């Protein structure tokens, strides 16, 4: 009978290695999400006339 501890399972499942390449990729991905999720709708709203924007609220 083999007994597996949780420490053994977590060591086998993955090893967390943080490299500058992974950090820069994660940062660029978060910036892209921020631009798509925040900046684009804000630009579209800024192009609307004020009266139309207030009617949509």
Asked if residue 53 has pLDDT above 70, the reply is yes
pLDDT reported for residue 29:
97
Domain extent, residue 26, equals: 18-56
CA dist 35 to 8, 19, 45, Å? 41, 25, 14
Instruction: Examine residue 9 and state whether it is found in any structural domain, yes or no.
Output: no
pLDDT reported for residue 2:
59
Helix H segments across the chain?
6-13, 20-34, 40-47, 50-56
Q: Are 53 and 44 in contact (CB under 8 A)?
A: no
Instruction: Examine residue 27 and state whether it is found in any structural domain, yes or no.
Output: yes
Question: How many domains is the chain built from?
Answer: 1
Report pLDDT digits (tens) over 3-51. 555 566 555 666 778 899 999 999 999 999 998 899 888 888 889 998 8
pTM score, whole prediction: 0.53
Instruction: Examine residue 6 and state whether it is found in any structural domain, yes or no.
Output: no
Instruction: Examine residue 34 and state whether it is found in any structural domain, yes or no.
Output: yes
Instruction: Examine residue 5 and state whether it is found in any structural domain, yes or no.
Output: no
């Amino acid at each position: 009978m083999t007994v597996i501890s949780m420490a053994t399972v977590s060591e086998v499942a993955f090893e967390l290695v943080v490299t500058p390449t992974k950090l820069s990729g994660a940062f660029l991905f978060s910036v892209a999400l921020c631009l798509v999720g925040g900046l684009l709708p804000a630009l579209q709203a800024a192009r609307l006339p004020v009266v139309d924007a207030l009617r949509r609220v």
